[in-house]
Each structure stands twice: as C-alpha cells, then as structure tokens.
A = this chain, B = another copy of it.
Amino acid sequence: MLKDFETPKKEDKAQINAGIKELQAKLLGQQQLLMKAKLPVIVLIEGWAAAGKGSLIKELISELDPRFYNVVSPKILPENAERYPFLFPYMSAIPVNGKVTFMDSGWMENVVRKYLKREITKDEYRRRIRQVNEFERQLRDGGYIVLKIFLHIAKQEQYDRLYELAENPATEWRVNPEDLWQHNEYKRFMEAYDDFMEKTGDTAAWHILDGNSRKTAIRDALKLLVQRVDRGIKEGRYDGMTSEEEFPLKEMPLLSEVDLSPSIDDDEYKKELKKLQSRLSELHNIVYRKKIPVILCYEGWDAAGKGGNIRRLTYALDPRGFDVHPIASPLPHELNRHYLWRFWTKLPRTGHICIFDRTWYGRVMVERLEGFCSDREWHRAYHEINEFERMLTDWGAVVLKFWIHIDRNVQLARFTDRENTPEKQWKITDEDWRNREKWDDYEVAVNEMLQNTSTKNAPWHIIESNDKKYARIKTLRLIVKALEKACSAKLALPTHNGGVSPLSIRALVR
C-alpha cells in the first residue's frame, strides 16, 4: 500500500549503475528467448505525475532491439477513444507473441482519474475494476506475461519536480493543470490508487517502486522485469483455466428440437420487409444520435442464408453508419495475438452499427473441431466470451446473436443448387463439403455453445431459415425490437446540430 510505503535507505551510486548495466544486458539476452518461446509481455508503468515514468521506460528499452518492443502512451491515443469501451486502447495495443509492449500509464490511471473527477459513478468504478480483473486474467490465461509497476514519489518530491519543470521556460509546458490538481489532491489520489491496487492485484501483482531515487527505481524495475521474464520462460506459455463464475443463462433448446417448418408467404414477406426496413431506417438515425453502439452477430450453418439476411438488414441502413465484418481465418498478425484481439479492434464506435458475419464463436466451433486451439483454450472461451459480451452490454451496446439454422437436407439442396448455378459456384468450396461431413460434430459444438453462452444480457436467437424469407423477417423483427427498447431507455436526444429549423433555412436562402 502506498500509505505504508517507506523510502528505502540510500545505496551506493556506482553499485546501482553497475547493476543497471548488468540487468540491461540480461534483458537483451532474454529477447531471443522470448521470441523462441513466443511469449508476449506487457509492462504497465503507472504512477504519480512527474514520478519519472517516461525516463524509466527509456532505460528499460535502451538496449533492446526496436523490432522487439513498442511503447504506448495512452495520453497520445486517438481523441475518439471515448467512443469505445474504456479498455479498448489497451487491448488494441497488446503485443504479438515474442514482443514487449511498455505502457506509460494505462487502465489504472484511466479509471482512478475518471473516478476522482466524478466522470464515472461508484457503480461504474466497481464495474471497471471487475473488467480490469477479467482483462488481466484473460491475458494471463492466454499466455501473456503482465508486469505492473507503480512508481511512487512523496508529495514533497512531486512538488519539487513540478516546481523545477514549471520554473524552466523550456519545460514549463510539461506541467499541466491536471498535474497540479493531482498534487493538490495528493491524499485523495493516494487513497484511490491504494484502493485500485488492492482490488486488482490477484492475477498480476502490483509492484510499488520508490521513484524518489530515479536510479534505484530503474534498477528495481529492470530487476522485476528480468525476473518475471525468467520465470515466464522457465514455466513456458501459460494456458490457464481459472474462472468459475457462473453467468445467468437463458434456457436454450437443442438444435434437434427446433421446429424448422415456419414459413412466410410472398405477399406478407414483401409487406413486412418494407415495413421493418423503414422502421429500422428511422431507428438507425436515433441510434446514431443517441450514440448507442450496436453489435449484430451472425453465425449459422453454411448456406443457411446469412449473406442474404445481412443484405436485407444493411439495405435499411445508412452506409455511413455501419460496417460489416466478414470473419475468415485469422491472418498471421491476428493469430499472433490474443484470439479476441481481432474482434476488439473491430468494435463500433458509439452510435455505429457493426455486423459480424461469423464471430468470436469460431473459437468454440471450427477452431475447436479442427484442433486450431487447445482443449483448455476452447473450454475457457465460453467464459471469456461471456465476460467480453458483458463488457459490451455494460458499455451500453446492444448485442444480438443469431444462429441461422437449417437442416441437413436443405443444406444439401442449396449446395447442389450452388454447384449447378454458374453465378453461385464461387459460394461453394470443397471445404463446405468437408464441413458438411462433420455435421454431427458441429451440432454437438453448437449445442454446447448455445447452452453456455446464451447469457441474459446477450442471449442467442435461433433463426429458422429453411424458409429464408421467414428468417429475414424474424431477424429484422428482433433487431427492431431491441433497438426500440434501447432507444427508449436511453437519455433524451441531444439537441440538433447547429440549431437549424425551417425558419432559419428560409432566412438564409435568397
């Protein structure tokens, strides 16, 4: 705890310098071992303003090859970070296997500062603490080494440093009102840091370093890093299985129990389609203005009709306000990161709609069945995905998940049709036939997925799609209903842009 922290006794300067050199050399040697072991490392440096985080990082990287690390400073992250979940910038910045990301302050500073500024409520603070713990645990379980350091300086030391910076015309600009505010509120900050560290030390421990003495801090940080990497290399890549939390689930039928006979006649289809699309179009406007993020997830059998279903949906939307993400096999740079990274980085900003044509559920379907991940990996994915989706709905997102369902015979008929229709031939590949042979295995996996991940906040919807038109109408209805609910629950519309009214346009035009 910061409040119990005692400044250690002075050490011999030359000895410290020698220690630094030695540790830097060791770290340099570890580079290759990390690459070989494919271990990714995240070093989070938190601490007081003017504690020397920047200079500390400079020393940590000074001997390393630039191919080996990158430095992230959330202070210089995109101005629109506020339009994504608060962990978004940190997740986006995680390293590929074998590399190190140094973060110059991160999720701790983010949460504590917002809380002290009263930009988030006590409840939201608690939620974020939970999300941080989930985030760190998921990274750890996924093989990431996470080292967390807090650089501590006393109030008087902070005063002296800020004063020195402010007094020098060349560095004066570095002292900003936020720093002064922190200094003024030193005690409140200390309590808040302590609280945060106390609640987030379970997966990755916090290390408080004495920043009053710069050199000692550098030496101690290097030592921690070298030791942590050493341990990581010895233990090998972690493949964890740790959380036991149970999510409240919605009861789901087995696929075999689903009645696939529902259909719709052509006239009703056309009428309903038009009505729903027009309503959706209105709702898209409201969603955009109320800044509600919307995430629509499509999964289903090959040839179930996902594409056509999505097209009926997107046709109702303003192309400037949505994205469709077709999910294929991960690319090398995706494969070399946590499997959820490629989905995190595709999240919509607030007010936007994103549609996933296949999703993170690939983990518990194709990746499970084809052996692209370990048993522990897909087992723990159920839980990780539930956490991921809870994070999304906590953020305020509307999350809808559709399983587009058909039976084997319908699939065969559609495959055959595709093979016999020249313009459709590209849609059918050998892989589709191979997957079809594994129908039974997939059915087991899909059933498990539906049973394990149909949470109350982000339930699955099974869409009967033997009749594609019926499926489209059902999907659109669910979307319209969910958006209506979200739009009515949220705050009032912001006032319109620039105060334009028929009167003012009339006045302007000559």
Contact = CB atoms under 8 A, between A and B. Distances in A.
B62 A315 contact: yes
A505 B175 contact: yes
A58 interface: yes
Interface stretch (A3-11, A177-185, A365-373): A177-185
A285 B166 CA distance: 14
Contact of A80 (B75, B79, B159, B162): B79
Contact of A180 (B32, B35, B171, B500): B500
Nearest to A63: B311
Contacts of A315: 58, 62
Interface string A401-439: 000000000000000000000010010000000000000
B166 A73 contact: no
B162 A58 contact: no
Interface string A35-71: 1000000000000000000100110011101110011
Interface stretch (A123-131, A200-208, A241-249, A325-333): A325-333
Contact of A66 (B102, B163, B307): B307
A118 interface: no
A285 B170 contact: yes
A29 interface: yes
Interface string A269-295: 000000000000010010001000000
Interface string A471-510: 0000000000000000000000000111011101110111
A176 B498 CA distance: 6
A55 to B, nearest CB: 9
A22 interface: no
A319 B73 contact: yes
Among A162, A315, A500, which residue has the most Cβ atoms of chain B within 10 A? A500
Q: Quick one: copies of this chain in the complex?
A: 2
Nearest to A163: B505
A393 interface: no
Interface string A152-176: 0000000100110011001111111
A62 B418 CA distance: 21
Contact of A331 (B35, B318, B331): B331
A331 B506 CA distance: 55
A58 B281 CA distance: 12
Nearest to A159: B509
Nearest to A286: B170
Most B-side CB within 10 Å, residue of A75, A184, A320 = A320
A500 B172 contact: yes
A76 interface: yes
A176 B502 CA distance: 12
A355 B460 CA distance: 47
A319 B497 contact: no
A457 interface: no
Contacts of A109: none
Given A170-B285, A357-B67, A497-B176, A509 B184 contact: yes
A78 interface: yes
Given A173-B497, A505-B166, A319 B57 contact: yes
A162 B29 contact: no
Contacts of A332: 331-332
B355 A166 contact: no
Contact of A29 (B70, B333, B423): B423
A170 B282 contact: yes
Contacts of A510: 184
Contacts of A163: 502, 505-506
A71 B320 contact: yes
A323 interface: yes
B76 A78 contact: no
27 contacts: A29-B423, A61-B314, A61-B319, A66-B307, A66-B311, A66-B324, A66-B357, A67-B357, A70-B324, A71-B320, A73-B320, A76-B321, A76-B352, A80-B80, A104-B319, A162-B505, A166-B500, A166-B504, A172-B500, A173-B496, A173-B497, A174-B497, A175-B500, A176-B497, A180-B500, A180-B504, A331-B331
Given A78-B80, A172-B496, A173-B500, 17 more contacts: A54-B320, A58-B315, A61-B314, A62-B314, A62-B315, A66-B357, A67-B326, A79-B79, A159-B509, A172-B500, A172-B501, A173-B289, A173-B497, A175-B500, A176-B497, A180-B508, A331-B331
Interface of A: 28-29, 31-32, 35, 54, 57-58, 61-63, 65-67, 70-71, 73, 75-76, 78-80, 102, 104, 159, 162-163, 166-167, 170-177, 180, 183-184, 282, 285, 289, 307, 310-311, 314-315, 317-321, 323-324, 326, 328, 331-333, 352, 355, 357, 423, 426, 496-498, 500-502, 504-506, 508-510
